[in-house]
Each structure stands twice: as structure tokens, then as C-alpha cells.
Chains A and B, each alone.
Chain A
């Protein structure tokens, strides 16, 4: 077995994971109808499937956002008129199950309630690279729309044939096809009856423009909401297949430690308890979680540890170990920095840093694994079910067809559930025990053995003319990542560079990736430049912005806060920041209150304007935007992983502070609905501008520039 927890490797999404599928449609169409019953099925098969292979982590193309190119979605209309949409995307709290069902209902012209989504089950749904990168809305909703439009055409043609008329005059609406000339109509259910008609998606059907949406664009509540408020919904952690054992894994004392000796004494005598050693992996499975833990407690294991970098040395290490030669794709240059700096009326250089932080999804990483006749089924909360399947197949030397991964709607992820760790552990233990095994990570394991948002250092050199126009912009990011690294401001002379550094802690995707770090540095720096130029923060930005969508969110946020606001009390401050990433635009305003005596900083109000094209579900979007703002506040003010020599020092909620009710300010989200622009994703970008807006407000209140995230883990230290 791969000792996944011992190895440090970087998550692909950090460099925009975009590998196209090499997989073919596995489910024979005959089987498809066996499962769903007769009816009409449409498969989205893109033309010109490239034979792109998945490349090794770290060597993926940076800006290629191609999709899996073969079958990407399918749809079934049953004999009872029920509609089922299939997608490999996972529901992880972002409410995409509702949004996708809305999309299908809208395009197929059926009531929302008649649509059911089957998601993220490698045996039933099309290959999907994963649920990340804010890709579901911009890529999956148009595909589902196209299959729905095709299904609608098939139904219309079936009706035309039935009545022996031309299909052109017929109207599809409210789950039936009507002939306006004669007034007769046939329900979809009637048209699907007795048919086993499967069709690949024909040439791209025109899809309904946002302006004509009737079900999409509405604030439809989360499907199955009742199952969540009654506790009936079963997350992975809640599953208990018959005969299931509970699994536990013996963790090394520090990262990278290797097992040098292993003795198993009393554990042999425990009835019904299985202890497994496989390489550096040691785990136990038992009828109760407690017995599994007791079995591990009885194991005598010795580990060889290795010396590792600690918090204190981190930023110096990043600077010293940044790759001497950056890959071309991580380096952008335009004009001459030297010239731009020479022509500047004012220069400003500064260094920024961000700490490692943890996702801390409330449902820990978990998996239930079951072997039947040499085939493996795993239920696990992951954002990448197909990648998990492939990793399991590789680890257990099975064909992919012998592994099935199913993702129950999951207790959040935020980019943190890409890997197959818990799935591997459960599968290994289940194979040894010959019974289903569930592994649920403890909170401490979550905070230690998962992966983190990478820390980083950012250096900026800049110059402005006397009128406030940028003349030079040089931006270096060490280690944290390249997302959102390019400035949206107009500047003739610029250089941006992302320097890869060997990993210290296991690192990977986190909501917004490095865009949060890069926006923190850039927008803090822009504010400092505005002060240098003695200009209002908004006027200074507007002076250097051409992008009309960015200007619109900036104006909307400022208007909503009432910028420029007069200070009405001691310690009050206002700040603003903006940015664009993954096709959406954000501007955030913060009001803070700083107690100069105690150093306490309180965020009083956050206002955010967000624009992601045509809004598919304003209610779900508002939840995501407000949620991102609150999550962003944690990383801005106090969240940080502390580590020393391969050990995490604060692996609990009692020592790693996350935002709680008292931290939550008054919040306003202003959603700009641009029906003329294709919908972009919204799960990530709303987090980016929170930290710099708060930091800029702290400067306004106290005159102190805070260049390191988190900014005030122990309050503000005033000189």
C-alpha cells in the first residue's frame, strides 16, 4: 500500500488541475436502461476528444482550462416523466445539487420537483476531473443545458411523429409537448413510454439565454433541506453497512517518520480485532472505535524521525530555496521595470507573508470501504471521486472497473478533500478484516495529516507618477502559488513571477488558492500607494483600472457602504479592496474598530459586491458569498497553523481559532446579476478581498500597516 500520509506531495489544483479524461463510457447503454427503466436518454459527447493524458503533479499546464472531453453528462427521461441528471460533480455544501437540477428543469421545461440528480458515483456518473476551481457552474451547467435541450428536441420530434405534423410548430412546456394548431398535447411521460432511445448529443443545440430563464435564476431552496434539519441525511461518517468494523490508523510522531520496529503483543488476543502492518502503515479494525484505539494503544512501534523546518525559519527558507530558474509559465513580463521605476515620482517596496492555514471542514475526512468478490466499493467525502478511484485501483493493483467510489453529500471541503487518504486506509483495513470498515479521522488527525493552504512570501516593487498612475509593478510570490498573481491594474511596465519552493508541510488547494495571498499583498500595497499619492483609496484604484466589470463592483461596494465615510468615533476605520479571478469580480469594504488601549480589533461591518455573470440561484449564491466572507475573516485576523520539527502544535479547535458567532460582523452582500454574461463559479472569488479590506481599514483606524496574515492573532501591537 502507498504510505500516503508519509509523503509530501503537492495537490494538482494548486496549479489549476485541468487534465482531460482518457476514459470511455463504461456503462453499456443496455445496462443504463436496466438501471433506470425505459425512456429517453441523451449523452453529452464532445467532439474531437483530445488524447490528453493526466500528467504528473506539478507539470500541468497553468492556464489551460479544458474539460474532460468525452462524455461529460447525461440525462434520462423516464416512462413516468421523472427526469434524472447525471454528473460526476460532488455536493459539498456549495448547493450545486439544487443549481444543476434547476438548470435541467429550466431547459427541459419541466417542474423543478421532477428532476433528480445522481452525482459523483464512479459507477453511474460520467468521468469528472473533480469539483474544484469554481468550474461546475461555468462548465457543467451549459453541458446539462445542452443535453436537456437535446432531450426536449427528441420529445418534440416524437410528438410530431405521433401526430404526423412538422416538429417546428410544436411547443415544449410544463413537461408536455403541445400543438398550438390543434390544441392537443402529450406529456413527456407518454412520449417516453415504451422507448429505449439513447442519443448522443447532436451538434450544439442553442440553449436558453439567461434573460429567458424561468426556473434557473430563482432562489430555490436547497433540495432535501428537510433531510438536513432532521438529521436524516447520511454523510459518509454516518454510514453503517451490516457487519461494519471501525478502523483507526497509528500515526507517526512527526511528518516523514518511518517505522523501524513494530511489535504486536496483547492485541492478538483481542477477539474480532484486526491489526494490519503494511510498510509504514499500521492500522486496526474492531467492532467499536474504542476497541480499535485500544488495539493500537497496545502496539509497540518505534519510529525514525527527521529534523524539519519550524515556523520560525519558514520565511527565510522560502527566500533561500526559491527556484533559481522559474518556469516560463510562472513568469510574465511587459515593458521595462527599470524604466518604470526610474520615471516614478514615488516608489514603494514592501514584503508580505501568509501563514499555513487549515480547511477544518466540520465533517472530517472519512471513508467506508467494502470488498465483495475482489471488487472494492468506497463511500467517501471527496471532491475528486474518479481520481480517488484511480488511486485506489493503483494501490490495490486492480482494474479501474473493479473500484467504485461514491460520494454522499459531504460536510464541506473548501478545497481540502482532494486526496484519497481515508479511502486508502479504510480499504486496506477492510481487505484485512474481510468486512466493511469505516475510518473517520479525529479532529487532531484532520489538523495534522490532511494538507494545508501553503504559506508564502510576496515581494512587491512599485512606482507611481505624480498623478497617481502606476509606472512600474514587480511582484514575486514565493511558494504560496500563482492564482490571481496578475494585476488587474493598467501598468505599462510589469513583471510577475511565482517561485516554486520545496514543500515544508503537505500543501494543496484551499478555497481561492493563492489568489487570497496575492490579493492581500496587491490590494494592501495599492492602498499604501494611494496614501503615498495622497489620494482616496477608490479614486486611486479607479485611476488605474480600465476593466468595467471591476469598476462596477468597486462602485457598488462603495455605494453600499456609503464611501467615503466620516469617522464618528475613536478607533473607527474603513477599508476597501477588489479583485477578479476565475471569471468573477469582487469588491469588499470593511469597517473596523480598534481599541488602542487593549489592541483589540473588531470587524464591525463587511460589505461585498460580487458579480459572476448571470446568477443561477441567488439564494445559494448569497450563502456562498457570505460564507466566503466569514471564512476569509478567519484567515485575515487569526487563523494560523503552528508547527515545529514535523509536529503541528495547535491541532484542535481549542488551539486553532476559527471564526465563531462573536467574530461575525454585520454583513451585506450585493449581488450584481449580469444576464448578458455567461455564469461563472462563485465558491472561491468572494474570499479574496476580505483580508486586504480589513487590513486597509485597520490602517485607516490606527495608522499601522499589517503586511502578514494573520494580521492580529494576538491583537494589534501599537508602538
Chain B
């Protein structure tokens, strides 16, 4: 009996070992590309739309015959917007043998995961992480296809200081790499332009009752509120601000651009300003993508087009480099100018966009529209 059990165990063990080696063997006819982003959790809606954009791009390439004569195989992993989860996702993708990674979405996830990809010599391109630190780490094969928070923060701060002519603002953030980073950039620029920041404070990401912070803002006499954070908190914060009788401008960064925010604030929302990329919905180049996205997934999210562009730029660079080797692809990315839905795109030595294309948006009749 004892012997029998040992034999069975042995057989099972051998079978499992064989299965594992089978898995780790890299397939030669496929090029593995990882997508790491957030599909569930409080950022699930905005992040999932980004991943869908990348999927469409890859499907288009596969329909055309793939890259370097190989079909592209996607390995999609969800980091739930959590830094610790992002690190384990990064390790998983590395051991999975992906050639390059599109992601992550949150700056707080991209920063801790990037050393892992860097060490494994895997190229990383993020469509959504705007914290300056992402590219300031000096990794040779890390790129971002979106403006930085210092560029974004400068736009927001200058708008409040020069266009609206304000002298005192309140700044709140959600204590994440993105939110606090953006808030700090706005504060820096606003102070440098001779303004005053009368409130600067952080709020935990899970908090949804802002009455105390709003009372502080009210007693401080701030003329505008800048919010560095994500859409799940932006909506309640805006509403509670108005309920307290404060009709000051509500200024926020690209984390607020999501349909969920529009739902929360309702049709009567006004005096909202958000910094974000260009208005792609009216660009002729974007029409085929928009049509395709809506037929597959419904209304696109704000980052869908960034996910789409990131995948296209990456695959084009691999094709041009003639290999998926990170160093070669990175060299191509730095040299070439790519035609994307959002216009021609080039990368500087750090891996940032040569030219940020952020503009100011506002909310009108439950829609995001470019500010006049």
C-alpha cells in the first residue's frame, strides 16, 4: 500500500514537472507582449479602457500578419492599482518571457515595477503614468506616451494664476505617487508665479467624506481648489464642495477624466477644469479607432487611445528594429517619429514625449469639452 502511494506520487510529480517545462519553453512562432494595468479595484473603469485600446491595436497587427513574421501573443495581468500587486505582476510577466510590457497605468504601480523590467532587460512603455519620477529613474528602456505631471501641473497652475488671476488656492491630493506628485508640481509653479497656497493636505484614497477639509478650505479663503487624485474621489469632493456653498473653480488632473465622474457630478456641474491630452474625438485620424472601439466595447475611456497608441508605437518600433531586443527597440524609439492617433510622437533621451500635448478641459452638459 505504502509503495503504491509512493509510486502514484512519483508519477504525479513527474507529470507536473513535465508540464512545467512544457510551459516555460518559449514558442518561436509567437511574440509575447505583456500588458500590465488595472482592470479591477477603484480605478478599474479608467484602466480597463486603456487595456482594451491596446488589445485592439494588437489585433490589428495580427490581422495584418503580425510583427517580424510572428503573431503577437498578449499576456494581460491586473495589478488592481496596488503597488505591491504591481511588483508581483511584473515578476510574473518577466518569468513568462514577454518581450516588452505595455503598462502599468498608475504611477504608483509603474515606479516600483520598472526596476524589475529594467533588470530583466525588458522594454516598458506606459500609456498612463504621469509622475515625473517614472522616467527620472534613468532606465534606458522605459518610455511614456503621455505628458508629465510637471508639464500638466504647469498648465493648471498658470491657468489659475494668469487666466483666472487668482492669488490664493487650496491644494488637496490623495497621497499616491500620481496625486501628490501632480499637487506638488502645481504648488511649485503657483508659488513661483507669485501666488499663495493656503491649504496643502493629503486624504487617504478610500475616504469619501471631505466635509472637514472643505471647512478648512472655506475658512482659509482659497479662491480655487486643486485636486490631485482619481475620479472615484473627484465626484464626491466636487459635490460636497458645492453643497458647502463654495462656487470656486474645481481644477484637477488627468485622473479625473472618466465617465464615472460625469455621472457623479450631474448635469448642472460647472466651473470644473481638467488638464488632459488633446481632443481626439474630432481628429480625423482617430475616427477608425473610435468606430472600432465602440463596436467592441461601447464608449471608449479617456486612456483607450493612449493604450492603442502605445501598442502601435511599440510594435512599429520592434518591426523597424528587426528584433525584439530591448536596447535595439529603445534606440529606434528615440530616433524615429511615429504617426499616432494623437499626432506625430517622438521620445527624448529620458523616454518622455518630446512635446507634451496637454490642454485644458472643462465639463459642460455632462460632457468633457476643451475649455474655451
Q: Verify that A and B bind, or say they do not.
A: no
Chain A residues near B (Cβ < 8 Å):
none
